[in-house]
Structure 1
Amino acid sequence: MSDTLRDAALAVRENAHAPYSQFKVGAAIRTASGTVYRGCNVENVAYPEGTCAEAGAIAAMCAAGDREVVEVYVVAGSPTPVPPCGGCRQKLAEFGAGDVPVTLATVDGAEQRTTVAALLPGAFDAGHMA
């Protein structure tokens, strides 16, 4: 199944708006319904007003009424796989269980597999709000 996510992430990465950094990122997430949502980074000259690829995919998922992430794939044009930023780690933890697989990849095919919990140990969750 990851091939489908990889293809989706690679394709949407091409739509990234990265005129300042030239660092394009694509993300694809699969939900419990089996639907794949995609997102790319969108930079803004007024840093840090841009949007990360993972956040874009999550926003598309929510806009469609889906809520449960079961797999994540993130690809960037870098020499080694790039992990999500701290904010996106928290966003992934909001919608995905700790054991949700996350694949970090380069456009050249290098991959690193991890989980939401490994990316964000001790995640802040609704239980902290009680």
Structure 2
Amino acid sequence: MAAVIQGDKCSFYDCNFLSYQDTLCDFQGRHYFSQFWIEGGVDFIFGQAASLYEGCTLNSILIDEGPSWFTAHAKVNLSAPGGFVFKNCYLTGSGNMYLGRAWNQYSTVLFYQTIMSSLIVPLGWDSWQQVINGFHT
């Protein structure tokens, strides 16, 4: 994990976060990311914050595994604030990637005017499934 953001109204400009799994924990609060490079392989942007990512590059470094996920948002209920918005961003890199998977029932992620390379799995989204005693929940 490269960073955990828990404050409110945090802003980041022209930064790089590099890791493999769980690169950026956008945990809670309202945040703004501009001209950002975020690199990872598994759920590399996750949390329950309400954040705008503008002009950012999400770069997958997934090699042979997969498919994997760019995002895992965790909105806990319908009235809770939160969601990730990606505006004028680029999704690139290697491997096969879903746009994201819902961490909770009300997860919210929006990609707007975003360029997506061919690494995106055509289904786009995946459900989060936990295995408990051999059963999917």
Do they superpose with TM above 0.5?
no
Structure number having the greater helix percentage: 1
The normalised TM-score by structure 2 is 0.32
The normalised TM-score by structure 1 is 0.33
